[in-house]
Amino acid sequence: MAGKKLISDFIMSFMWVWSSVIIKIFVFKVLGIGHDAKGEVVKCALSIINMFFFAFLGKVTKGGAYNPLTILSGAISGDFSNFLFVVGARIPAQMGYWDSSVDFAICSNS
């Protein structure tokens, strides 16, 4: 069970970082909509759909998360072993994946 949560945290963190990049590329380059009001409305609409998609992924993975603050709040109010698991494994896994995927995004856009 713990391994599944760590893996889902890894994957969801990577997907979350890249989702905004992919939305911007899709709206501004693939669709060819400029940075005017129309393009921003389309980008915001896709971002809202993206949030619902990640809420769905959280349900499907039975607790997978991409945001360390959401799991930290539950860990503080839970038992001590859950707190240690969250602080010692899940948050470092998410932050490590965030860091590596951001580095990858910066290198690929250069």
Q: Decide: 101 and 21 in contact? Cβ < 8 Å.
A: no
Euclidean distance between CA atoms 97 and 6, whole angstroms: 11
pTM above 0.85, yes or no: no
Sequence-distant (6+) residues with CB within 8 A of 60 are none
Q: Which residues form the domain of 68?
A: 2-109
Token pair of 102, please? 């951001």
End-to-end CA distance of the chain: 39
Euclidean distance between CA atoms 110 and 44, whole angstroms: 25
Q: How many domains does the chain have?
A: 1
How does pLDDT run along the chain (110 residues), one tens digit per residue?
677 888 888 888 888 888 888 998 899 889 888 888 999 999 999 999 999 999 999 899 888 888 777 778 878 887 888 888 888 888 887 776 666 656 666 665 55
Angle between helices 37-60 and 2-25 (to 10 degrees): 170
